[in-house]
Amino acid sequence: MAQLCQLKEIDLSGNTWNRSISQILDSCSGCLSDSLQLLRLTDSQIYGHLTYKIGQFKTLISLDLSNNSISGPIPASLGNLSSLRDVSLVYNHISETLPESLGQLVNLERLEIYKNQIEGIVSEAHFANTTSLRFFRASDNPLTLKVGQDWVPPFQLELFDMGSCHLGPKFPMWVRSQKSLSVLVLSNTSLADVLPPWVFNFSSELFYFDLSQNQMHGRIPNLTNMGTQEYSAVDLSQNHFEGPLPLVSSKVYKLDLSDNLLSGSISQFLCSSPSEPMNMAALDLAKNRLSGKLPNCWSKWKNIQVLYLNYNSFGGVIPSSFGSLIFLQSLHLRSNNLSGILSLSVLQNYINLVTLDLSGNKFGGNVPTWLGTSPSMLRFLSAGFNEFHGHIPDELCALNSLQILDLSNNNLSDPIPKCFNNFSIMAIKRAESLGFWYDVSRGSNAPYVEAALFLIKGKPIEYNKTLELVNIIDLSGNSLSGHIPLEITNLSNLLSLNLPDNLLDGEIPVKIGNMRELESIDFSKNKLSGEIPQSMSSLNFLSYLNLSYNNLSGKIPTGTQLQSFNSSSFVGNKLCGPPLTPNCSTNGEVTVVEKNRKEDDHEMSWFYIGMAVGFIVGFWGVCGSLIFNRTWRHSYFRFLDCIKDQLYVASVLKLRWFRETITSCYNNQ
């Protein structure tokens, strides 16, 4: 027992305790209060409030309760642990405000409280005597940092992260005093200011700077002094920066300037860089206003692995020096004005290429056959909205890792290759994730997550973190002919099959029900005929269907799936049955003729009824009067006798007096 009282470290991480933190602290109190230096209970399913009892452990140096379900406030008694150096309470449900007593922890070196629900204001008092503080991470909390613009902190930080807290609108001037800062994360902090010119010069140690998702404006200073570290990264994306691209140091490893208002040519940025090769592995200039031709200066940037130039106004052809990017894994050129033919000599060296996005340009010629041989690791091929013509080459079928094939809205013709069933990733449901990100990061940087935009379920959707789960074929808006190949139904893990606006004929493959993961089918505006296969009704995940404007006929297969769609999914065919209003006969034909016959019979019945009523009314209108009115009856028979006599006379004499005689008889009555 005496030995237990001398314990200095308790590390029970990863054990399923399923107990409250209060119970655990009670069991550790007593003799351990004067000896315990380390308490680590990460990933242990601990819950409840972290009570004042934590203040009993006077000798505690390190406290790690991360990845649990601890709730309630951080107790003020934590500030009484004068020996405390390391505190990690991340990924819990801690709430309320941060106690000012933490400012008395003179030995505190690391405070990590990110991913909680701590709110309120963090002021200068919270850091009053924290002279030893080196690492402070409080991101993803509804906290507000409120200090004076002239505040000089008592510490020299190495890492400061308050991403998704509130710091703005002014850029924090106290940062300039931090000469040892290596990581500075101020993303999504409501900053709306001009970037001060000293921001990339204040610390020679700075290698990761994240200012994304703010409203910063003005020009970006040159980054030539940034990156004394080998793996420096700068993220200024999703702001309002304008003007030309800044010059960068050869040491910068990752640069993200996407989604700003940057304009002008890219030539100076690429060609005026230092003479030594660039260390850049990830360059993102997407969603700006950059224009002009792509210069032929890419040979110094051969270390690039991820390149985003999409959503700009670049024109001309791809320069020959593009072929020097031999480590390229992800290339995004979507929505520019690039043209020409994709040259084998330029792109054949991309043996590591995983993503190739060429959509929304003016590339022409045939779809390159070398795509099926050189980039054997290709998983995402998008070349929609271009000017490619000819057929889809069978060589593409060699891309057995392909997950996304988008050749939509070109001038392609001829049948769909039967060898599409070679896309094995689309055919096999994976037991584990392949990952769709690129490890271009170093140090504390996160991996570069791939992103892509394509049409699914009738509307454009952008995927990023879940892109690895997406399998799509989109061949819409071409002039493809022939049948939908039966072999395509082997792609049982396909998510979306988009084939509208083509010249496809024949029947829908009868085994389409084998594509069990399908969520979206669009075969509209083709020349498909025959019936809808019964197996289609077994596609349980199907949430979008468009078979409109074909020559399909017969009864829509019954089942909860197909009947749940709107009638617009089936219009322009000769189909019947729910959800369409026409019913079907026993042989599956629309019963419109039978319905019309019933309507005609209905009208004839009313005609005969009306005629009978008219006869009765007319008959009794005359005969009834003669029967019940004696005077009218005598007059009527005298009139008939007169007519009889005059007819006899008219037959003997002249017939021209006939009308006069009739009139005379009538007047005498």
Q: Which among 223, 201, 207 has a CA at the least distance from the CA of 273?
A: 223
Q: Do 470 and 463 touch, CB atoms closer than 8 A?
A: yes
Question: What pLDDT sits at residue 86?
Answer: 96
Residue carrying structure tokens 């009555």: 669
Question: What pLDDT sits at residue 621?
Answer: 54
Question: Is the four-CA dihedral 627, 631, 634, 635 of positive or negative sign?
Answer: negative
Question: What pLDDT sits at residue 522?
Answer: 96
Q: Do 74 and 89 touch, CB atoms closer than 8 A?
A: yes
In whole angstroms, give the CA distance from residue 321 to residue 347: 10
Grouping H, G, I as helix, E, B as strand and the rest as coil, residue 127 is helix
User: What does the block give as tokens for 573?
Assistant: 């065919």
Grouping H, G, I as helix, E, B as strand and the rest as coil, residue 32 is helix
Residue carrying structure tokens 């409203």: 215
In the chain, what are the helix, strand and coil shares in percent, each to the nearest 5?
25, 25, 50
Residue carrying structure tokens 């005298």: 638
Domain map (residue ranges) of the chain = 432-594, 629-668
Question: What pLDDT sits at residue 56?
Answer: 86
Angle 264-269-275 (CA atoms, 0-180°, nearest 5)? Answer: 160
| HSE-CB for 578 with a 13 A CA cutoff | 8
Residues 6+ apart with CB under 8 A from 293: 314, 315, 316, 317, 319
Angle 580-586-588 (CA atoms, 0-180°, nearest 5)? Answer: 45
Q: Tell me, what amino acid is at 290? A: L
Q: Do 281 and 254 touch, CB atoms closer than 8 A?
A: yes
Pairing label, strands 551-555, 544-546: unpaired
Question: What pLDDT sits at residue 657?
Answer: 43
In whole angstroms, give the CA distance from residue 179 to residue 386: 51
In whole angstroms, give the CA distance from residue 525 to residue 571: 11
Burial class (CB in 10 A: 0-12, 13-18, 19+), 334: buried
Question: What pLDDT sits at residue 612?
Answer: 59
User: Cα 383 to the chain's mean position, in Å?
Assistant: 19
Q: Do 601 and 609 touch, CB atoms closer than 8 A?
A: no
DSSP states of 321-375 as a string? GGGG-TT--EEE--SSEEEE---HHHHTT-TT--EEE--SSEEEEEPPGGGGTS-
User: What does the block give as tokens for 321?
Assistant: 């020096």
Give the total residue count for the chain: 669
Q: Do 241 and 220 touch, CB atoms closer than 8 A?
A: yes
Low-confidence ranges of the chain (pLDDT < 70): 1-6, 29-33, 227-229, 273-274, 344-345, 374-375, 429-448, 454, 465-466, 586-669
Question: What pLDDT sits at residue 589?
Answer: 53
In whole angstroms, give the CA distance from residue 487 to residue 517: 16
Q: Which among 202, 204, 253, 201 has a CA at the least distance from the CA of 230?
A: 253
Q: Do 319 and 339 touch, CB atoms closer than 8 A?
A: no
Question: What pLDDT sits at residue 201?
Answer: 84
Pairing label, strands 544-546, 520-522: parallel
Grouping H, G, I as helix, E, B as strand and the rest as coil, residue 237 is coil
Angle 452-458-463 (CA atoms, 0-180°, nearest 5)? Answer: 20
Question: What pLDDT sits at residue 32?
Answer: 67
As assigned by CATH, the class of the 432-594 domain is alpha beta
User: What does the block give as tokens for 108?
Assistant: 């505190």
User: What does the block give as tokens for 178?
Assistant: 């931090």
Q: Do 262 and 268 touch, CB atoms closer than 8 A?
A: no
- Provide φ and ψ at 160, rounded to 5°: -135, 120
Residues 6+ apart with CB under 8 A from 466: none
Exposure letters 400-436 (e unless 16+ CB within 10 A, then b): ebbbbbbbbbbebbeebbeebbbbebbbeeeeeeeeb
In whole angstroms, give the CA distance from residue 610 to residue 335: 71
Q: Tell me, what amino acid is at 615? A: F
Judged by phi (left if over 0) then psi (alpha if -120 to 50, else beta), residue 115 lies in left
Burial class (CB in 10 A: 0-12, 13-18, 19+), 533: middle
CB neighbours of residue 617 within 10 Å: 11
Pairing label, strands 496-498, 472-474: parallel
In whole angstroms, give the CA distance from residue 486 to residue 418: 8
Task: Please report which helix (H) or strand (E) contains residue 656, including its range.
Answer: none
In whole angstroms, give the CA distance from residue 379 to residue 406: 11
